[in-house]
C-alpha cells in the first residue's frame, strides 16, 4: 500500500485508492517508449538474477514509490523497501559534504529486466520527488513569512505524466 506522512510524529496515510485504474497501461506505454524496439542492452547483460540498489543522493521529499514499484512488478522483478526510510512524502536530509547516500530499496530479478525498467522508474521518481521537494520548499518558505495556507496540488504539464 502507499503511505505518506508529513512528519515522523504523524502516522502514515494510505493513498492507494488514489491510483488510477489504467496505471499498468500507462506504465507499459512508458516502457515501450523507452525501448521501442530491439533491446541491445538486455541481450548483452543476459538473464542472470541480480540485485540493484535505489540510492537517494540529495536532500528532498521522497515521492513516487507506487509508480517505481509497479514498473518493476510489471517486469517480474521484486522491490524490497526499507520501510523505516522509504516513506512516501517524507523529507530526508542528506549531508552534501559527506557524499552520503541513503539506500531506499533493492530491486532483484533478471538483470535484463532490471535494466529495462531502470531509466523509466528513476525518471518517474525524479519527477515525483522533484515536484514534491519544490512544493515542500515553497510551502516552508511561505510559512516562514507568515502564510497559513496549504499547498494542495500542482499542475503536471509534462505529456504522459498527468497520472503522476
Contact 95, 29 (CB under 8 A): no
Q: At what angle do helices 23-34 and 65-74 cross, to 10 degrees?
A: 70
Neighbours of 8 (CB within 10 A): 8
Residues found in the chain: 164
Query: Catalytic: 57?
Result: no
Cα gap 75→91, rounded to integer Å: 29
Identify the active-site residue in 47, 50, 101, 156.
156
Question: Distance between CA 104 and CA 62 in Å, rounded?
Answer: 9
Which residues participate in catalysis according to the annotation? 156
Amino acid at each position: 500500500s502507499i503511505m505518506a506522512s508529513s512528519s515522523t510524529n504523524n502516522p502514515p496515510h494510505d493513498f492507494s485508492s488514489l491510483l488510477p485504474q489504467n496505471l499498468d497501461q500507462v506504465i507499459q506505454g512508458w516502457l515501450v517508449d523507452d525501448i521501442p524496439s530491439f533491446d541491445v542492452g538486455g541481450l548483452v547483460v543476459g538473464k542472470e538474477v541480480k540485485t540493484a540498489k535505489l540510492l537517494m543522493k540529495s536532500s528532498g521529499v521522497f515521492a513516487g514509490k507506487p509508480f517505481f514499484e509497479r514498473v518493476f512488478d510489471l517486469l517480474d522483478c521484486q522491490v524490497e523497501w526499507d520501510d523505516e526510510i522509504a516513506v512516501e512524502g517524507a523529507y530526508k536530509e542528506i549531508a552534501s559534504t559527506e557524499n552520503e547516500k541513503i539506500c531506499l530499496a533493492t530491486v532483484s530479478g533478471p538483470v535484463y529486466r532490471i535494466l529495462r525498467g531502470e531509466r523509466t522508474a528513476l525518471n518517474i521518481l525524479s519527477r515525483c520527488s522533484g515536484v514534491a521537494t519544490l512544493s515542500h520548499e515553497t510551502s516552508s518558505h511561505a510559512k516562514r513569512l507568515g502564510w497559513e495556507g496549504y499547498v494542495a496540488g500542482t499542475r503536471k504539464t509534462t505529456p504522459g505524466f498527468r497520472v503522476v
